[in-house]
Amino acid sequence: MILSVVFNLLVLGFFKYYNFFADSANNLIKLITGNPVPSFLFPTLSIILPIGISYYTFKVMSYVFDVYLCKLPAVRSFPDVMLYVSFFPQISSGPIVHAADFFPQIQPVLDSGNEPGARPIEFDNATLLILSGLFKKMVFANFLSTLFVDPVFSNLAAYHSMEVFLAAVGYAVVIYCDFSGYSDMAIGIALLLGFHTPKNFDRPYMSFSITEFWKRWHITFSSWLRNYLYFSMGGSRFGLTHTLVALFFTMVLGGLWHGPSYTFLLWGVMQGSALVIERAFNYGNTRNRTPALAGLQIFGTFLFTVLSWVVFRAGSLKEVGLWFSSLGNFSQNITLLSPMIVVLIILGLGMHFVPAAVRKTGIKVWTYIPLPFKGIGIALFFALLSVISMSGVAPFIYFQF
For the stretch 2-23, pLDDT in tens is 999 999 999 999 998 888 888 8
Domain ranges of the chain: 2-114, 123-208+287-352
Write out the catalytic residue numbers: 258
Q: What is the pLDDT of residue 50?
A: 85
| Helices 371-388, 123-135: crossing angle, 10 deg rounding | 10
Q: What is the pLDDT of residue 391?
A: 65
Instruction: Please give the single-letter amino acid code of residue 76.
Output: R
- How many residues does this entry show for the chain? 401
List the one residue out of 91, 94, 98 whose CA is nearest residue 67: 98
Torsion angle of alpha carbons 27, 33, 34, 36, nearest 10°?
-50
Q: What is the pLDDT of residue 71?
A: 92
Residues 352, 247, 197, CA angle at the centre, nearest 5°?
Answer: 45
pLDDT at 209 over 90: yes
- Long-range contacts of the stretch 73-77 (C-beta < 8 A, 24+): 75/103
pLDDT at 116 over 70: no
261 vs 153, which has greater pLDDT? 153
Average pLDDT, the chain: 89
Report the share of the chain in percent with pLDDT over 90.
Answer: 61
Asked whether the beta carbons of 177 and 348 are under 8 A apart, the reply is: yes
pLDDT at 117 over 60: no
In the predicted model, what is the mean pLDDT of residues 103-126?
77
For the stretch 266-301, pLDDT in tens is 999 999 999 999 999 888 777 777 888 888 999 999
What b-and-e string marks burial along 141-168, b requiring 16 or more CB atoms within 10 Å of the CB? bbbbbebbbbbbbeebebbbeebbbbbb
In the predicted model, what is the mean pLDDT of residues 187-204?
92
Instruction: Give the DSSP letter of residue 75.
Output: P
CB atoms within 10 A of CB 262: 15
For the stretch 347-384, pLDDT in tens is 999 999 888 888 889 888 998 999 899 999 999 999 98
Q: What is the pLDDT of residue 110?
A: 76
In the predicted model, what is the mean pLDDT of residues 194-223?
93
Q: Rounded CA gap, 173 and 78, in Å?
A: 41
394 vs 199, which has greater pLDDT? 199
Q: Rounded CA gap, 234 and 243, in Å?
A: 7
Asked whether the beta carbons of 142 and 389 are under 8 A apart, the reply is: yes
CA atoms within 13 A on the CB side of 106: 16
